[in-house]
Structure 1
Amino acid sequence: MPSAPSVPQTPRWDVHRLPRAQGKTVLVTGGNAGIGYFVAEQLAGTGATVVLGSRDGAKAEAAIASIVSRVPGADVRRVPLDLADPASLGASVDALGLDRLDAVVHNAGVALDHPPRRATRDGHELMFATNHLGHFALTHHLAPLLAATPGSRVVTTGSFAAKSERLDLDDLHSTHDYQPKRAYARSKLAQMLFALELDRRLRAAGSTTLSVLVHPGGALDSLTPSRPPFHVRTTGTRLGHLPLRLVVQGKDSAAWPAVRAVLDPGVRGGQMLGPRAFGLRGAPRTEPLWGHLTDTTAAARLWAESRDLTGTDPMSTTPAKAVPRRTGPETPGMPAWP
């Protein structure tokens, strides 16, 4: 009796033995610090060309120096990127000097802990504008480069903070009862809904570009290895917080889901990757979407609102419409993001 044909087995993903990625180019927003830095460092170790998108050129240069000191021969560059200013993003993409892009990791973000509410020059609440609207508009400008690369990927970093939050689609800018932590969680939820809606639209259009959602779980500076000059962990801090490793992890480990989303050939569009242990720590795995992330009506409405607010559409390769700057009447006197 003939034996059944063998089924190819997908290799187990090993965070310490990443596949080689020579010839690939990846843009990491906010790659100069935090989780984004470790995403960039780990990708550079695979031979990929990594571009750090950052508002602060000095910090980006420090990050590049750190990566090169740990990854001899690393090809790491930087490009000016201010997600709070959508009108500047076209020039930033032009500055890349690329005709194709294998992946972008939407990682940069702003988290404010205390009032007052802050607004961008366009009058948009700062966290919603930077974390969501900026990446929405950036995806539009990157669309031709991604479309030119078969199997390219848009990797969006969400947050566990969004798991218990709901969007207020009638107050996306948190003009009523502003609470910083809630506004942050809602901005991350908006990113997550965008990532999933983007993949639905890509699939409907027959695109080979994948939109993948990740979240880093719980990540603490005190559990993160030192990367001077922008992060130095003392021995006392490390030992004092060591018991927390049972629950959460450092930012180096929190980078693993995004790195896998970029590199793993088995990853599919519309999936969410997060840490294995309770969604808070450990090796990355595919996990079920949280219930409210499957709300396609809310996602479609958010897409329409984001398109109107930015004058861009990530599914369009036509030039962005100019959206006049304004100072929102709902936030008089609020400082603009520099």
Structure 2
Amino acid sequence: MPSVLKTQPWDVHRLPRAEGKSFLVTGGNAGVGYFVAEQLAGTGATVVLGSRNAAKAEAAIASISARVPAAQLRHLHLDLADLASLKASVDALGLDRLDAVVHNAGVALDHPPRRRTNDGHELMFATNHLGHFALTSWLAPLLMAAPGSRIVTTGSFAAKSERMDLDDLQSTHDYRPKRTYGRSKLAQMLFGFELDRRLRAAGSTTLSVVVHPGGALDSLTPARPPVHVRTTGERLRGLPLGALVQGKEAGAWPAVRAVLDPDVRGGQMWGPRVFGLRGRPGPEPVWDHLTDATTAARLWAASCDLTSTDPTFGPT
């Protein structure tokens, strides 16, 4: 894995311009994904919000437009849990090139029972990992058409203490929601690094970068009604935590930098600078278990079988 490199100063409030570029943010209608879309919209790029809920996407577009009057925004119907629908969603983009995709959408369940998609896959693993894996495959021609395009995969601290069980990828035998969620995010991160290895081997200029938002809490997140409403009580209760973690607006900074910063390199991991939990975005050492290329390759092969896709990139 690449070593952590020194980078040029980066101002999260003065982003480089990106007119003429197109970015897709999955789950751009809420949470960290909303703020990724809001911040990217301020660069002059066209930002596509991928969401299965049209009403929530339109509310997010209205909120962003109120803050960024010249924002160029679109909604793309995108249901990552429905693998058969993804090709049609990509076709509906109507683009001849895509400069970046931020794989941000995710499902986190707190309680049993184990839930399955219509394809029969465990819901968190299917949405968080398999859906993004298959989406990458369908987006490959558009990404290859944009030299230097970027695939930014959003991981989580929940993955740091987890390890893959390749014999029970979908928690069929031992379902514990928090662990299953952590492993789904671990699968995403392993995919991001394996994708980088394959891009380099293919001589592609497309970059695969893994990011995480650190500790990003609703109580520390600025209000964006009706997308996110925060009461005074919630804000006050969250203030003491601000010394340790941050809100979702700041949680978006690593992904936004991974999309825009020319210093970013494929195979890097970016997160908040202060203990990986809060602060300005910066590169950080890749966690040891994320460098396991053997496990990542086996996960890739299993994902190909489960999705009937294989993300392939040639030289660009």
Q: Does TM, normalized by the shorter one, top 0.5?
A: yes
Q: How far apart in 2 are the matches of 1:284 and 1:100?
A: 27
Q: How far apart in 1 are the matches of 2:181 and 2:189?
A: 13
Deviations 1:80-132 (A, max 9, x none): 00000111000000000000000000000000000000001111100000000
The 3-state SS of whatever aligns with 2:208 is strand
Cα deviation, residue 239, structure 1: 1.3
Cα deviation, residue 316, structure 1: 5.9
Matched, 1:165 2:162: yes
Q: In the alignment, which of 228, 231, 234 is matched to residue 234 of structure 1?
A: 231
The 3-state SS of whatever aligns with 1:51 is strand
Cα deviation, residue 230, structure 1: 2.2
**Equivalent residues in 2 for 1:105-124 (5 A)?**
105-124=102-121
The 3-state SS of whatever aligns with 2:272 is strand
Q: In the alignment, which of 73, 80, 95 is matched to residue 98 of structure 1?
A: 95
Query: Which 4+ runs in 1 deviate beyond 4 A?
Result: none
Alpha-carbon spacing, 1:119–1:313, altered in 2? closer, same or farther (3 Å): same
Q: What is residue 191 of structure 2 aligned with on the other side?
A: 194
The 3-state SS of whatever aligns with 2:234 is helix
Q: In the alignment, which of 10, 18, 22 is matched to residue 21 of structure 1?
A: 18
2:34–2:60 CA contact under 8 A, matched in 1? yes
- Structure 2 unaligned residues grouped into runs of 5+: 1-5
Deviations 1:183-204 (A, max 9, x none): 0000000000000000000000
* Percent sequence identity over aligned pairs: 80
Q: Which amino acid aligns with 2:230?
A: R
Q: Which amino acid aligns with 1:98?
A: L
Matched, 1:310 2:307: yes
Structure with greater Cα Rg: 1
Q: How far apart in 2 are the matches of 1:251 and 1:316?
A: 32
Q: How far apart in 1 are the matches of 2:96 and 2:83?
A: 21
Q: In the alignment, which of 182, 185, 192 is matched to residue 185 of structure 1?
A: 182
Q: What is residue 217 of structure 1 aligned with on the other side?
A: 214
Q: How far apart in 2 are the matches of 1:228 and 1:53?
A: 20
2:202–2:313 CA contact under 8 A, matched in 1? no
Equivalenced residues, count: 309
Q: Which amino acid aligns with 2:120?
A: G
The 3-state SS of whatever aligns with 1:146 is helix
Deviations 1:240-282 (A, max 9, x none): 2101000110000000000000000000000000000110000
Q: What is residue 243 of structure 2 aligned with on the other side?
A: 246
Matched, 1:45 2:77: no
Q: In the alignment, which of 46, 51, 55 is matched to residue 54 of structure 1?
A: 51
Cα deviation, residue 10, structure 1: 5.5
- Structure 1 unaligned residues grouped into runs of 5+: 1-8, 318-338
Q: Which amino acid aligns with 1:143?
A: A
Q: How far apart in 1 are the matches of 2:227 and 2:202?
A: 42
